[in-house]
Chains A and B, each alone.
Chain A
Amino acid sequence: MMLQILAEPWPWYIAGPAIGLMVPLLLFVLNKSFGVSSSLKHLCAMCSVSNARFFKYDWKKETWNLMFVFGVFLGAVLVAKYVPSESLVGISDATAEKLSGMGITDFTGLMPEQLFSFSHMLNPATLISVVLGGFFVGFGTRYAGGCTSGHAIMGLSQFSLGSLVAVIGFFIGGLFVSWIILPSILSLI
């Protein structure tokens, strides 16, 4: 019964408050602010990939953050193994229709195989989505000082003005890609 409930995709009013609870849990257990993207910097510092001053700090003090993101990976592994969702991702019909019109035919899984699989790795659409997109995620989050967790959730929970500016930026960038750029990218598939 319990597993059956877990196997269903969660509605927003369960998932959102559950994510919000990460804020007090991290504060209470570790006295740390909720955030994910700085882990990318600690990974760079840990692997000594650059000698820039930006990476000269004691990353070992941030091990908790690396453990946290390793946990995120592990949590997804456990869900996939024990309580996978069997249905398609519950997007609206309008979104499915719009994506079909742009050439997406496979709606199984969490992301379209046509775009996100090693067999399409050298397709320009995949390179743009994965390689360029990933680069922007790393560069942008360090420049802005946080991501959806650190700015949108932790920052806005503290009514931080900088976080509000950053979140407005997230949407300027995201809307530009989804409305203006995405149709051209998908036409490359």
Chain B
Amino acid sequence: MKHIYALLLGVLFGGILVKAEVVSWFRIQEMFWFQSFHMYGIIGSAIAVGALSIWIMKRFGAKSINGDFINPSPKPLHKKANLFGGIIFGLGWALTGACPGPLYALVGSGYGIMLVAILSAMLGVVAYGHLKDKLPH
């Protein structure tokens, strides 16, 4: 059942990404050129809603539907990995005009060529998996 819920939440997220034009290469270039507030407004207000919801859920000891307390663990700090990995992802974000969510949504929108980008991204993950121990973290 939880896999069905995950699927439905994904459908919702994918639909929003397309309707908000977040999946558009044009919008990503516009964002990096600082020519519109659109993407900054989306990311900023998403963070505000996310942060407020987490605060409320923790403050009132909210439980998920399976009965466990909601207490998401923060991502660990790995300064070098966060920075260097972040820069490499940033290069890819501007080149493809898409982050991972939009990659899947673009395939669904009929851009079959983005399947090539997903396969290439998997190759990038494999490369990282092999080089991990040699990279600064």
- Which residues of A pack against B, CB within 8 Å? 6, 9-10, 12-31, 33-34, 36-37, 39-41, 43-44, 47, 49-50, 52-55, 63-65, 67-80, 83, 85, 89-92, 94-95, 98-99, 107, 110-112, 115-118, 121, 126, 128-163, 165-179, 181-182, 185
Complex CA distance for A130 and B125, rounded to whole angstroms: 15
Chain B interface size band reads 35 or more
Q: Please, what's the 1-or-0 string for B49-74, where 1 marks a CB less than 8 Å from any CB in chain A?
A: 11101100100001011101010111
Are B86 and A13 touching (Cβ within 8 A)?
no
Taking a contact as CB atoms under 8 Å apart, the answer to whether B42 and A91 are in contact is: no
Name B's interface SS. Answer: helix
Contact partners of B41 in chain A: CB under 8 A:
12-13, 16
Residue of A at shortest CB range from B44? A16
CB pairs A–B below 8 angstroms (9 shown): A16-B43, A17-B48, A17-B49, A68-B13, A69-B10, A76-B106, A134-B121, A136-B95, A166-B82
Q: Which residues of B contact A121 (CB under 8 A)?
A: 113, 116
Q: Is the CB of B122 within 8 A of A44?
A: yes
